[in-house]
Amino acid sequence: MKRAILILSVLIYYSFAGWAQTSPWTFQQCLDTALKRNISVNQTRLSNELNKISLEQSKANRIPSVSANVGESFNFGNNINATTNSFTIGTFHSGNYGLSASYNLFNGLQNNNTIKQYKLNIEAGKYDVENAKNTVILSVTTGYLQILQQYEILRTAQNQLAADSVQVDRTQKLLNVGKAAEGDLLLIKSQLATDYLQLVNAQNQLDIARVTLMQLMQIPVIDKFDVEIPKLVDPGLDLLQSKDVIYQKALAVMPQIQSASLKTSSSMMAIRVATGARWPRLTFSAGMSSNYASSSRNPDVNASGYPWYTQVWNNVGQSMNLGLSIPIYSNRSIQSSIERATINSKTAALNELNIQMTLRMNIEQTYTSLKSAAKSYEAGKIQLSSTEMAYRNAEKKFNVGVMSTTDYLIQKNNYVSSLSNVIQTKYNFIFQSKILDFYQGKAITF
């Protein structure tokens, strides 16, 4: 028992330790792990496996079905001898053996249309899997970019805290020699405390972003998790293509569009399947049977016994049947099935249209957001350039004692605010650009 517990503990340890890789995770590693472990993706894949099973069953319905039956009876008193069909008084046992086969010659093409329907469902299921993967890709991209953004914000907070520490030391020295007022030192220390709070908040947000990404990857949350920080370049505002051109490209590559189209075709095939029930059904069946009774005697020989094998062989009989079933009135069940299939087909067509409209709206929103993000980013960089120059100038004046601490801190905070705004607009610009490329079938990479 102790050995089993030890082995189980080791397995649990290594199952969790396996995620604690020493090197940072690349975006592709995060994405591959999320796609492999995501429950929705795996559920969608399993749902399509059910479609494959249904297809194989539909194909099997086109071949004859064969069955065998064996029955043994023990009889007491006055019973009918199965082999002679006469009454026998006494105790004996008997057996019945049969082999039968049936084949559906025609059933209104329902089998063929059902096979076509499931083939369409399987193809649609493949696109459903890809669509589920796309959802994961977008989520991981968002989570990965959020970590990169928080890293930049954290570095900015660290730099500002370091700069404040230098100013606190400088002001303290000036106060010690009587060249600075105590109020100036208090203001600088207050700014240092504020920036320290910003640093703590930035670290907390980074930790939350890490947890979010690990949860998207569906791995255990660990403290040593980190991501590789790629060298990002500002995306170009490549909007030479119109929204309509991008939408037409998306219609050709987005899996949800292909899936919806195939499901509409499948629903139309379902109408054919339901309509096929109106046609006559032609079936063919054949069988072979025999029986045995211990009370039977061989009529050809004057013997006391009739061996089982000989008796079964002599009693073999064959049959063949051809049946025609013509539906006349089915309590409206056939008509109701057709009407339900028709409504389902209309619903599938509307769903396909809705998915197309949703894709168009998403592209229009992303297109507009990308333009807005580009403008905000460019304006933010201009503002940052101006506030940085003003801050550097204020810092020089403050260091030589020709600017008050309050005015200096105002210029400093303006610069920090501009820097934070540029970081946010930069990553929003990158994200919107990646999404628009994604709608055109381009892989997301970093």
Distance CA 131, CA 45 (A): 11
What's the chain's length in residues? 446
pLDDT tens digits for range 13-34: 344 444 455 689 999 999 999 9
Among 206-215, 228-237, 376-385, where is mean pLDDT lowest?
228-237
Rounded Cα–Cα distance for residues 313 and 297 (Å): 14
49-63 pLDDT tens trace:
999 999 999 999 989
**Per-residue pLDDT, 9:** 40
- Candidates 3.40.50.300, 3.90.550.10, 1.20.1600.10, 3.10.20.30; CATH matching 21-62+108-279+332-439: 1.20.1600.10
Stretch 153-166: mean pLDDT: 92
Looking at per-residue pLDDT, the higher value among 152 and 5 belongs to 152
Where exactly are the structural domains of the chain?
Answer: 21-62+108-279+332-439, 69-106+283-326
What is the phi-psi region of residue 331: left when phi exceeds 0, alpha when psi lies from -120 to 50, beta otherwise?
left
User: In the structure, what pLDDT confidence band is assigned to residue 223 with cuts at 50, 70 and 90?
Assistant: confident
What is the rounded average pLDDT of the residues 168-186?
86
What's the CA gap between 205 and 424, in Å, rounded? 14
Is the pLDDT at 300 greater than 70, yes or no? Answer: no
Confidence of residue 294 (pLDDT cuts 50, 70, 90): confident
Span 110-121, mean pLDDT? 95
Going by pLDDT thresholds of 50, 70 and 90, the confidence category of residue 368 is very high
The pTM assigned to this predicted structure is 0.82
Say yes or no to pLDDT of 357 above 60.
yes
pLDDT on residue 23: 85
Higher per-residue pLDDT: 147 or 21:
147
The 3-state secondary structure of the chain, one letter per residue: CHHHHHHHHHHHHHHHHCCCCCCCECHHHHHHHHHHHCHHHHHHHHHHHHHHHHHHHHHHCCCCEEEEEEEEEEECCEEEECCCCEEEECCEEEEEEEEEEEEEEECCCHHHHHHHHHHHHHHHHHHHHHHHHHHHHHHHHHHHHHHHHHHHHHHHHHHHHHHHHHHHHHHHHHHHCCCCCHHHHHHHHHHHHHHHHHHHHHHHHHHHHHHHHHHHHCCCCCCCCCECCCCCCCCCCCCCCCHHHHHHHHHHHCHHHHHHHHHHHHHHHHHHHHHHHHCCEEEEEEEEEEEEECCCCCCCCCCCCCCHHHHHHHCCEEEEEEEEECCCCCCCHHHHHHHHHHHHHHHHHHHHHHHHHHHHHHHHHHHHHHHHHHHHHHHHHHHHHHHHHHHHHHHHHHHCCCCCHHHHHHHHHHHHHHHHHHHHHHHHHHHHHHHHHHHCCCCCCC
The pLDDT confidence band at residue 240, using thresholds 50, 70 and 90, is low
Instruction: Give the model's pLDDT for residue 6.
Output: 41
Confidence at 340, pLDDT banded by 50, 70, 90 = very high
C-alpha torsion angle, residues 400, 403, 408, 414 (rounded to 10): -120
> To the nearest whole number, what is the mean pLDDT of the chain?
87
Q: What is the pLDDT of residues 246-271, one digit of tens each?
A: 999 999 999 999 999 999 999 999 99
pLDDT tens, 54-107? 999 999 998 999 999 998 877 666 666 655 666 666 566 778 889 999 999 988
Confidence of residue 402 (pLDDT cuts 50, 70, 90): confident
* pLDDT at residue 12, rounded to an integer: 39
Q: Rounded to an integer, what distance in angstroms lies between the CA atom of residue 357 and that of residue 363? A: 10
Q: What is the pLDDT of residue 90?
A: 59
